[in-house]
Structures are given as structure tokens and as C-alpha cells.
Amino acid sequence: MRALTAVAVLAAVTPLLLAVSGKAAVLHPLPLDDPSNNDDDPPAPVKPPRLRIAHITDLHLDPHYDPTAGADTWCHARTAQQQQKHDIYHARLFDAAGTANVPLSWRPSHAAAASSVARYGRIGSPCDAPMVLVKAAIELVSQLNVDAVLWSGDTARHDRDNKLPRPEAEVYAANAQCAALFANATTAPVFPAVGNLDVHPHNQLAPPPDSRVLPRLAASLSPILRTASVHDDFASTGAYVADLAPTLALINVNALYWMAENARVPDCTTPDSPGTHMADWLDLQLSLISRANRTALVMGHVPPATGPAPSTHSGNGARHTPFLASNYKPACATRVLATLDRYAPHVAGVFGGHVNDDSTLFVARDLATGAVGLVDAEDLAKAVEHGAEPGRRRGVVDGLELRVPVFAAPSVIPVHAPAVRVLEWDEGRRVLRGWWQYYLQIDEDGERGGVPLPGEGNDRRW
Ligand SMILES: [Zn+2]
């Protein structure tokens, strides 16, 4: 499943703008205590509440984004005059301790490298996101009237431009800026995750005290890390657990300790490795959830695997390699998938980003061999057709039992159409009922002639 193209989205959302605020206003069927009720009347049936949870990911805020520069320079200006402005900007942005001391601001652009001006981002390019786009996405979250926000990491820009290397302080500044925007935009709790671009150098993370990255990142995120225990857990491990509803908990893992590219930690074959500890911790948290007969959403920036699927069938039609290659170190992948499989009835889904795409995979078990791995069900509709329902009933597709859905929400970085997803948890049935996807209105030139408005995509899922 791929995000709609910008053009298709624009066409789909324009007539639906007015529906957004209306829908947001009616999706809280909490029972109201009306004092005017006559006591002789039979009590109205009490509907269990439904929880609306936003999922936003991969903001990739680029403070150097230039709307007139082209994708060939990563949307960074290249003239000497602009370089000078960049240097001044950096001198103002960071104090001697490397901490952001003034709000991020944008340099005026004088470049003419691109044939068009793309104020809100270059859709389909490898450029990161301008602040106006990030602000619009967070403003959209504020308008969606949600009960909680999953913010699954990769907030800082990529370090792709060798003429404009990314300083470590920029990682914390981007996270601090976005945390402050979230704190101002919504009263709902916002739950962050650490992404592989939220550490420096990217992908590389050792635990404290060998690395000070996690404590610094926690300090940047302090406006939204609401309790001392969540702050301390994030600062020491990058992971924490939080309650979302009586039946529902969020388990945020630090998947960087499992990620194959992270050379600072060993594979989970080492008993004392950070990855082993993180896997043990996930196992413990899910065992507690299971014993309490509750359900968990598991969040981690890097999913256990990413599509698209390799060829899953041989020429004669017999399946021979059903599982996707993992993003994790081999032993860590085995541990994590076994844990998710073991507690599958108590895991409504795994939620992440990283792929800058809109995809759904499944932790699946091969019924013939008992092996567990990640599969791309190719089309969620096909999985549902075969009986898959997150949080309740799992389907069987081609001899593979689908155990736990693994969702990557669409990114804000405009690789495809930027969007925010809103999940709905049914507290009564204790299932994830599905999601709405809200696309930001940006045309293919990265312009809209004004502040992008929230639009509703045409895809209510499940
Ligand atoms: Zn990532």
C-alpha cells in the first residue's frame, strides 16, 4: 500500500475539507451525565469510550531548507552570500554548550537553482522538510482533537549534504523545537520515540554513560516528557511505558539497540548487550500487560523489517522464502519477533516510521514450519479478506498466520504526500477499529498559495 500521490490527494481532499472538523467533533462518544434526565426514565445505555490516537512520524526538520534551491543540492542554497548567512545563522542558533539558544528561523533565500519555488517542500524529492510544513503538520494534529499522539521519531534532518554537514546540536535543536510546538499545539499527551536520525552520528548509539545522546535528547523533549519516570527512562534507555486507557498501554522501545546499522552495540547474542536488555524489557512489559489482561501498542522508530517484499514464490508456485530481511541484527530480530509472536493476543500493533512510506506488514508464523518472520501481505484488503483483524482475530494468508500488524504511518517529510494518521481504539471491544488518514494539501510544486489546510484522504482503513 502506498501513499497517494500529491495530485491524487489534492483531488481527493478538496471537497472534504469541511468534513474534518465535523468528524473530529463527533468521535468522542463518552457518556454525558445530563442532570435534566428524569430519574424514572430507564438509563441510557452507556457506550464505552473510543480513544483517538494520532500517529505522526519522520518530520525531518531542515533548518537550512531553501524553497528556491533544487533537489540536486538537497534543497540547500549554494551561493557565497547564502553560506555567509548560514554561518551567521549557526552562530546565533547554538551557544557554547551546543544547545539551541534562539528559536529556529529561516534564512532569506537568494538562490535560483530550481525552476520553481517550493515553500512547503519538494514532493517526491530527497529534500528534508521546511519548518512551514512541520508547523502545518503539528497544527493539523492540534485540529484533529485526539486523546494522545504517537510521535515515532526521525525529527532531525538527514546528514546527506557533504557541503553542509549536520552538527550534533542541530539534532537536539530540531527535537526541542518540535517538542515545544507539540506542547503549544495540543493538551493531549505526546509520546516521542528515538529515531536513527535523532542520534549523532546517525544510526550510531551507545547507551549512557558511553554516550550522552539520550540524556541530551531527553532534555530537548522535556516539554512533552510529562513525568519524572518517563523522562528518566527515556534519558537512560530511550524506552518507557505509559497508560493510554484502562485496557490499553503504550510500550515505546528504543529500536536503535537492535538496528543492524548501529555499530556501537553488539547483537543480542551477547547477554549483557543493550539490545538484549531492551528485548528483555519488552518481554517483561508484555508479560505484565498479558497478566493484567490488557493490550499494548508497541512503538519503535525502526520497524523489524521493511517492504517491499522479495519474491515470495518460486517459479512453480511453491513458497520458499516467505519472510522479509530484517532491519535488526539477526539475534535481536529472532528475540523480538519471538516475543511479539508469544504475546500476539495482547499486541494491537507495532507502530513506527523510518520508511517514509505508508505500509503494513505482519509478524507471521509459517504454519508448516513454525518459523516466525515479517511478511508483506501485499494488500491489507487481502489480509482482511482472509480474516485479519488487529487486536482480535488473525488471518491466514498462503499458509502464514498473521499474528501482529506492523504499521508505518506516512511521513511528514514529503517523499510522498505528507499526512497524519488517526487511529481509533474501541475500549469496549478492545480492538483497534482502524484509522483515518489526513493529508496536508501541497501540490507537486510544493506550493498552495497559503497555509496548508488539513484534508481528509479517501481512505478510512479497516
Ligand atoms: Zn529513520
Domain ranges of the chain: 6-28+48-456
User: Can you tell me the distance from the alpha carbon of 450 to that of 211, in angstroms, rounded to the nearest whole number?
Assistant: 43
Q: Kindly tell me if the per-residue pLDDT of 38 is higher than 50.
A: no
Structural contact between residues 179 and 223, judged by C-beta atoms closer than 8 angstroms:
yes
Q: Which CATH class is domain 6-28+48-456?
A: alpha beta
Task: Name which of 92-101, 108-117, 379-388 the model is least confident about.
Answer: 92-101
Q: Kindly tell me if the per-residue pLDDT of 359 is higher than 80.
A: yes
User: Can you tell me the distance from the alpha carbon of 365 to that of 337, in angstroms, rounded to the nearest whole number?
Assistant: 10
| Ligand 1 centroid from CA 362, angstroms | 19
For 323-334, the pLDDT digits (tens) are 888 999 999 999
Percent of the chain residues topping a pLDDT of 70: 70
pLDDT at 282: 98
| Ligand 1 centroid from CA 199, angstroms | 10
pLDDT at 241: 98
Distances 155 to 209, 247, 262 between C-alpha atoms, Å: 23, 30, 18
Identify which has the larger pLDDT, 274 or 435: 274
Instruction: Identify the band that residue 412 occupies on the pLDDT scale cut at 50, 70 and 90.
Output: very high
Task: Name which of 11-15, 146-150, 235-239, 249-253 the model is least confident about.
Answer: 11-15
Task: Name which of 31-45, 172-186, 202-216, 239-253 the model is least confident about.
Answer: 31-45
| Ligand 1 centroid from CA 57, angstroms | 9
Identify which has the larger pLDDT, 9 or 243: 243
Instruction: Identify the band that residue 456 occupies on the pLDDT scale cut at 50, 70 and 90.
Output: very low
Q: Kindly tell me if the per-residue pLDDT of 112 is higher than 50.
A: no
Structural contact between residues 1 and 419, judged by C-beta atoms closer than 8 angstroms:
no
Residues, the chain: 462
Q: Kindly tell me if the per-residue pLDDT of 159 is higher than 80.
A: yes
| Ligand 1 centroid from CA 21, angstroms | 31
| Ligand 1 centroid from CA 315, angstroms | 34
| Ligand 1 centroid from CA 79, angstroms | 30
| Ligand 1 centroid from CA 195, angstroms | 5
| Ligand 1 centroid from CA 129, angstroms | 14
Q: Kindly tell me if the per-residue pLDDT of 376 is higher than 50.
A: yes
What is the average pLDDT across 133-161? 95
Residues paired with 431 in a beta bridge: 426
At residue 91, the 3 state secondary structure works out as helix
* Average pLDDT of the residues of the chain: 79
| Ligand 1 centroid from CA 301, angstroms | 6
| Ligand 1 centroid from CA 236, angstroms | 20
What is the average pLDDT across 240-269? 97
Picking from 175, 247, 235, 242, the residue whose alpha carbon sits closest to that of residue 211 is 235
Q: Which residues have a Cβ under 8 Å from the Cβ of 365 and sit 6 or more positions away?
A: 341, 371, 372, 400, 401, 403
What is the average pLDDT across 73-102? 59
| Ligand 1 centroid from CA 353, angstroms | 7
| Ligand 1 centroid from CA 368, angstroms | 34
Instruction: Identify the band that residue 106 occupies on the pLDDT scale cut at 50, 70 and 90.
Output: very low
| Ligand 1 centroid from CA 303, angstroms | 9
| Ligand 1 centroid from CA 387, angstroms | 31
At residue 5, the 3 state secondary structure works out as coil
Q: Kindly tell me if the per-residue pLDDT of 377 is higher than 90.
A: no
Q: Give start and end residues of each alpha helix (H) in 49-206.
A: 80-93, 131-143, 168-185
Q: Kindly tell me if the per-residue pLDDT of 3 is higher than 60.
A: no
Q: At what angle do helices 228-237 and 213-220 cross, to 10 degrees?
A: 150
At residue 405, the 3 state secondary structure works out as strand
User: Can you tell me the distance from the alpha carbon of 206 to that of 427, in angstroms, rounded to the nearest whole number?
Assistant: 38
Percent of the chain residues topping a pLDDT of 90: 55
Identify which has the larger pLDDT, 148 or 379: 148
| Ligand 1 centroid from CA 194, angstroms | 9
* Cell reading at 349: 500493533
Q: What is the DSSP code (8-state) at residue 15?
A: G
Distances 160 to 144, 163, 247, 445 between C-alpha atoms, Å: 33, 9, 43, 22
User: Can you tell me the distance from the alpha carbon of 227 to that of 312, in angstroms, rounded to the nearest whole number?
Assistant: 46
pLDDT at 316: 36
Ion ligand 1: residues, Cβ under 5 Å: 154, 195-196, 354
| Ligand 1 centroid from CA 172, angstroms | 16
| Ligand 1 centroid from CA 197, angstroms | 6
Instruction: Identify the band that residue 205 occupies on the pLDDT scale cut at 50, 70 and 90.
Output: very high
| Ligand 1 centroid from CA 354, angstroms | 4
| Ligand 1 centroid from CA 46, angstroms | 42
| Ligand 1 centroid from CA 144, angstroms | 25
Q: Kindly tell me if the per-residue pLDDT of 110 is higher than 50.
A: no
Q: At what angle do helices 17-26 and 131-143 cross, to 10 degrees?
A: 50
Task: List the end-to-end C-alpha distance of the chain, in Å, as a whole number.
Answer: 14
| Ligand 1 centroid from CA 153, angstroms | 7
What is the average pLDDT across 336-363? 93
Q: What angle do CA 286, 189, 353 make, to 5 degrees?
A: 65
pLDDT at 434: 83
pLDDT at 394: 63
Q: Kindly tell me if the per-residue pLDDT of 256 is higher than 60.
A: yes
Four-residue CA torsion sign, 53, 59, 61, 66 = negative
DSSP-derived secondary structure for 244-272: EETTEEEEE--GGGTBTT-TTS--TTSTT
Q: Kindly tell me if the per-residue pLDDT of 310 is higher than 70.
A: no
CA-based max dimension of the chain: 80
Distances 396 to 172, 199, 283, 386, 407 between C-alpha atoms, Å: 44, 39, 25, 6, 18
| Ligand 1 centroid from CA 253, angstroms | 14
Q: Kindly tell me if the per-residue pLDDT of 442 is higher than 50.
A: yes
Identify which has the larger pLDDT, 34 or 254: 254
pLDDT at 91: 52
Helix (H) or strand (E) holding 438: strand 431-440
